[in-house]
Chain A
Amino acid sequence: MQGRALILGERKDGKLRQVTLEATSAAKKVTSGEVVVLLLGDGSDASTKEMLGAYGADRLLTIEHEALRHYTSDAFMQALRAAVDHVQPEVIVFGHTAIGKDIAPRLAARLGAGLISDVVDIVEKDGVVHFVRPIYAGKAFEERTIEKAPMMFTIRPNNIAPLAESAGRNVQEETLALEIKDLRSMIEEVVKKATSGVDLSEAKIVVSGGRGTKGEEGFKLLYELAEVLGGAVGASRGACDAGYVDYALQIGQTGKVVTPDLYIACGISGAIQHLAGMSASKVIVAINKDPEAPIFQVADYGIVGDMFEVLPPLIEAFKKIKSA
């Protein structure tokens, strides 16, 4: 395919999210055409441009507007439609993030386009692009094709490796002026949760706790470990149901899906619904008292033991390494 690709870029605290670079690489697997990254809200800086160029973007399109600083599907839809009209893409890529999940189906319905969500791999067979995605809570995978342009898909973070190009491209920047009208919904209040700073779905290391943590005390250990390792904290539904942590941390079939480089499961039994959210992690370490716990079947390294005994010396060891 040679058509243009449009990627809805995402930023966090002004910095490009990793998934946007992954989406750029994914777009290049599908088309040899021009790759355009769209950024909404604020303007961009030189480092953003350079970063996008290094990962193979040709153009950066920004729409600056007060109403796009914070996500609402209403305002974002208007911006995306303007961008689609302007760029005329044959491929549209989103991260499978809170925003991508929300806006992609709406745009697909508007364009009458095929949308494949939660893509973990892209393979070409006889010149046809096949998108791989998990189904049945990770029990199987399916390969889907899209029969007509525009092709739309969302990619699961941490699965499609971002490929830096040897010679970075010189990114053309363009600003699109847009009047946003008739916003129907209004955000009245935004509550930011104090999190360790690392976004769960994109974290390279996730330290996760279950009912075996026994409560906030146990989670304090997990936060300490996550802090020294530079990871994020997650949880099983068991832990969320028990009120140890907020549901925002839930990993699994009905929670977040994570695929970090390292997943450390502490006091989690490994129910299939939990595995659906983490079994594709690159390396899994499980700490559980029960040698029969199903989590050990997916773990690369299993430690049969009490997390309250294993974690403190581990945290100490890393604190020492860090200060050394």
Chain B
Amino acid sequence: MHTLVLVKQVPDTKNAKLHPVTYTIDRSSTVNITNPSDLHAVEAAVRLKETYGGIVSSLSMGPPSAVETIRETIQMGVDHGFMISDRAFAGADTLATAYALSIAAQKIERTVSPLDLIITGKMTIDGDTGQVGPGVARRLGWYVLTNVVDIVEVQLKDRLMTVRRQNNSGYEVVRTPLPALLAVDPSINKPRRASMPNMVRAARYQPTIWSANDLEGVDRSKLGLKGSPTIVRKVFPPPKPEGGERVEGSLEDQVKFLTKILLERPEWIKTREKV
């Protein structure tokens, strides 16, 4: 079984500083991390390898610093790391990103072996909201399952897999043919710590890096800014929270006050009647 995980290096938004004028992430003062949600994807892929055998590859699109993210996947037990890195990819929105990644995935199939599965995280913390995975699957003509909380079973012989996914009202168990793309929910697992041998291997690991020229048959008009139908016009800060009113006084006073503000809004009371 050959599984590919898609991973992204992102600015650590928790501690990120924003440029005071442009409100873009100030890269010089911000550390980069592997998108936390992607580590769950790596963990899921490595566990599949442990259960069913086979290999795991990882792929990232990004600047040269993304090597660190690939190394982190190697630490966790990934076999082969790939990057696509080129100015031609810069400024890509989700559509252009999905296109580039799908072309690279096809090259990985030619370089290593055909893929059975692609796993992605739920979303990235720097602004994408889970569009890339489904976009890649569409380009490859594969089935997608998002919000996966458990991989129940893989039947390699029949080329089928069964997963549990969260939906609006609960869960559903779905069986789908392979190859497929899964976007996993963080609750699926707890990413492991690196083992000593994998750490040693990762420290020296050099991923295969492809530029746009290395991707045979790529349509350059679909890459980067050129291939992106949506454009960022402006970035601005949210209104500053001022911190509100502290409700003082005895417990009784506090409860009275709360009851009062809740009752002040007739529209809330209306909602109440629906139940």
In Å, the complex CA distance between A296 and B98 comes to 40
Residues of A within 8 A of B234 (CB): 130, 142-143
Within 8 Å by CB of A229, from B143, B251, B272, lies: B272
Are the C-beta atoms of B125 and A137 separated by less than 8 Å? yes
Enumerate A274-324 residues with CB–CB distance to B below 8 Å: 279, 283-285, 296-305, 309-310, 313-314, 317-318, 321-322
Are the C-beta atoms of B129 and A117 separated by less than 8 Å? yes
- Count class of interface residues, chain B: 35 or more
Residue on A nearest B267 in the bound complex, by CB:
A261
Any A CB within 8 A of the CB of B200: no
For the complex formed, measure the closest distance between the CB of A89 and the CB atoms of chain B, giving whole angstroms. 15
Residue on A nearest B244 in the bound complex, by CB:
A300
Residues of A within 8 A of B93 (CB): 114
Within 8 Å by CB of A135, from B36, B149, B235, B254, lies: B235
Residue on A nearest B130 in the bound complex, by CB:
A101
Residues of B within 8 A of A118 (CB): 129
A136/B127 contact (C-beta < 8 A), A116-B230, A185-B177, A262-B268 known = yes
Enumerate A220-259 residues with CB–CB distance to B below 8 Å: 227-231, 240, 247-248, 253-254
A-B pair count, CB < 8 Å, reads 255
Residues of B within 8 A of A181 (CB): none
Instruction: Tell me the interface secondary structure of chain A in the complex.
Output: mixed
Are the C-beta atoms of A145 and B274 separated by less than 8 Å? no
Residues of B within 8 A of A113 (CB): 95, 229
Are the C-beta atoms of A115 and B95 separated by less than 8 Å? yes
The interface bits of chain B over 163-178 (1 if a CB of A lies within 8 angstroms of the residue's CB, else 0) are 0001111111111110
Within 8 Å by CB of A187, from B134, B149, B172, lies: B172
In Å, the complex CA distance between A109 and B94 comes to 9
Residues of A within 8 A of B267 (CB): 204, 261
Any A CB within 8 A of the CB of B3: no
The interface bits of chain B over 10-44 (1 if a CB of A lies within 8 angstroms of the residue's CB, else 0) are 01011010100001010000000000110000000
